[in-house]
Amino acid sequence: MSSLSIKSPPAPAELPLSAKARRTVEQPISYLISEVMKNPRLINLAAGLVDAATLPVAECDAITRRIFADPARGRAALQYDTTLGLSSLRRALVEHLSKLEGLSPADMGLSADDLLVTTGSQQALYLVGDALIDPGDIVIAANPSYFVYTGALSSLGARVMTVPIDRDGMDVEAVGRLLGRIDAAGELGRVKFVYCTSFYQNPTGLTLSAERRPQLAEIVRSYSNRQRILVLEDAAYRELRYEGPAHRSIKSYDADNRFTVLSHTFSKPFAPGLKLGYTAMPADLLEAVLHQKGNHDFGSSNLTQHIALEAITDGSYGEHVHVLQRAYRAKRDVMLAALRRYMPAVPGLHWTHPDGGLYIWLTLPAGADTRRGGAMFNACVEAGVIYVPGDYCMQADETGNVPTNCLRLSFGQVEIGSIDPGIERLAAAVRRETRNSNSDSRVINMAVN
């Protein structure tokens, strides 16, 4: 529940917030952002922002000149378009998707009219939740998961139930077992979808394996006998691939376009400032989502849609993805090398080796405490480095416990030259914390014995 700060002096009559507003908490990342604002010398390994140096300024300059040089085109870009989004952009995006998948649109049951353009992919994720979730409904996600979205799900009143994630991504057999237990408990009707970041997941960097993709599509289908359970596939980081296979989406195994929603964005592979995402979904869901979007804003910025269209069709988008892949691959490699160099050799201390995306997930020995306000977090801020505490990304287990021994690192925004010193500072704090948590464990054991 949000804390209400009243600025003006007179005794206030209460502001009667909606149940949803009362369920909505501030995104925990806000605190970290304000820490960084206060202390600009902090090496920011927390931010999921993209690399500033690689932003496509020259490309967008050329594109906007072209758009405004043609008065008819310029006027079209400055007028309203439809709630669904610019049709020429949606056509270009279906072709783009088709290339990413190596499948024809028909093979995926998709046409341009099955795509919705939104204000970043976050809006699409939100609208899907809005169209499907009543308080008490269930969404299944990996633990950890992208915390901004699990926060939004909680605000909508969803119960987020989790399964583990491993080297091969979300544990889809665990999804099947969980659905079985939910069914046995008579609650299958409350399950609305499985949320899965299938490429270079935020926060772990882990990718769903080729084998698990059709399996997950089949699992939700097999539990959809009375009502449909969907997969909501978040592919925000898909094109930021530095090595390993270029997987097909889960959606590509849903030839009738009935059980999967596939969400992409321009923010990670091109520029966040355009604030555009595009999402393919089943026709009946799209209709419901479109009605919601009609109420929310009746269409995202049309000018930025014209810019995105030009970038896709003139080839600058594709070239820019290659620039980003080179730049982020180099930053990832520096971060992995620094982790090897500085992290102490302690049992239980390990980290992920992502093939793409912006994130590395670091696990400390059980008993370590990476939380905001804890000794290790404070030591890091003191030393001039900041990370995202892992508990921000985790749901509580049945006993209400959240693991506190993990953290998220990002090589997205940080300058390449700051990664090594950032990890060196972090490692010093980790070394102290693992020593302390070892002695803590001893203290606890002593108390028990």
**Footprint on residues 141-160 left by its own copies (CB under 8 A):** 148, 151-152, 155
Q: Between residues 23 and 431, which has the closer beta carbon with respect to its own copies? A: 23
To the nearest 10 degrees (0 to 180), the angle between helices 302-313 and 87-101 is: 40
Label residues 88-99 b or e (16+ Cβ within 10 Å = b): bbbbbbbebbbe
Please tell me whether residue 347 binds its own copies under the rule CB under 8 A.
Answer: no
Rounded Cα distance, 228 and 235, in Å: 21
Please tell me whether residue 297 binds its own copies under the rule CB under 8 A.
Answer: yes
Q: Which of 42, 46, 60, 386 binds its own copies (CB under 8 A)?
A: 60
Least distance (Å) from its own copies to the CB of residue 199? Answer: 20
Q: Between residues 169 and 412, which has the closer beta carbon with respect to its own copies? A: 412
- Residue 196: strand, helix, or coil: strand
- Separation in Å, CA 170 to CA 201, 209, 387: 9, 9, 23
Q: Which of 303, 334, 338, 358 binds its own copies (CB under 8 A)?
A: 303
Least distance (Å) from its own copies to the CB of residue 43? Answer: 18
Least distance (Å) from its own copies to the CB of residue 27? Answer: 5
Q: Are 232 and 195 in contact (CB under 8 A)?
A: yes
Q: Between residues 276 and 406, which has the closer beta carbon with respect to its own copies? A: 276
Q: Which of residues 201-260 bind its own copies (CB under 8 A)?
A: 224-228, 256-258
Q: Which of residues 378-397 bind its own copies (CB under 8 A)?
A: none
Q: Between residues 157 and 365, which has the closer beta carbon with respect to its own copies? A: 157
Please tell me whether residue 107 binds its own copies under the rule CB under 8 A.
Answer: no
Please tell me whether residue 65 binds its own copies under the rule CB under 8 A.
Answer: yes
Q: Per CB under 8 A, which region of 130-138, 239-247, 381-389, 424-432 contacts its own copies?
A: 130-138
Q: Between residues 173 and 287, which has the closer beta carbon with respect to its own copies? A: 287
End-to-end CA distance of the chain: 41
Q: Which of residues 25-54 bind its own copies (CB under 8 A)?
A: 25-27, 30, 33, 49-50, 52-53
Q: Which of 40, 41, 71, 345 binds its own copies (CB under 8 A)?
A: 71
Non-local CB neighbours of 86 within 8 Å, separated by 6+ positions: 117, 302, 305, 306, 309
Residue 112 DSSP label: G
Q: Which amino acid is at 382?
A: E
Q: Which of 102, 104, 107, 134 binds its own copies (CB under 8 A)?
A: 134
Q: Which amino acid is at 289?
A: V
Q: Which of 38, 40, 41, 80 binds its own copies (CB under 8 A)?
A: 80
Mask: binding to its own copies, 153-192, rule CB under 8 A, as x and -? --x---------------------------------x--x
Please tell me whether residue 375 binds its own copies under the rule CB under 8 A.
Answer: no
Please tell me whether residue 131 binds its own copies under the rule CB under 8 A.
Answer: yes
Q: Which amino acid is at 432?
A: R
Rounded Cα distance, 84 and 276, in Å: 12
Tell me the backbone φ, ψ of residue 264, rounded to 5 degrees.
-120, 165
Rounded Cα distance, 153 and 142, in Å: 14
Please tell me whether residue 319 binds its own copies under the rule CB under 8 A.
Answer: no
Non-local CB neighbours of 324 within 8 Å, separated by 6+ positions: 50, 51, 54, 239, 240, 269
Mask: binding to its own copies, 257-276, rule CB under 8 A, as x and -? xx--------x---xxxxxx
Beta bridge partners of 265: 277
To the nearest 10 degrees (0 to 180), the angle between helices 302-313 and 57-69 is: 110
List strands edge to edge, sheet with 115-118: 115-118, 277-280, 260-265, 230-234, 191-197, 138-143, 159-166, 169-170
Least distance (Å) from its own copies to the CB of residue 81? Answer: 8
Number of residues in contact with its own copies under rule CB under 8 A: 102
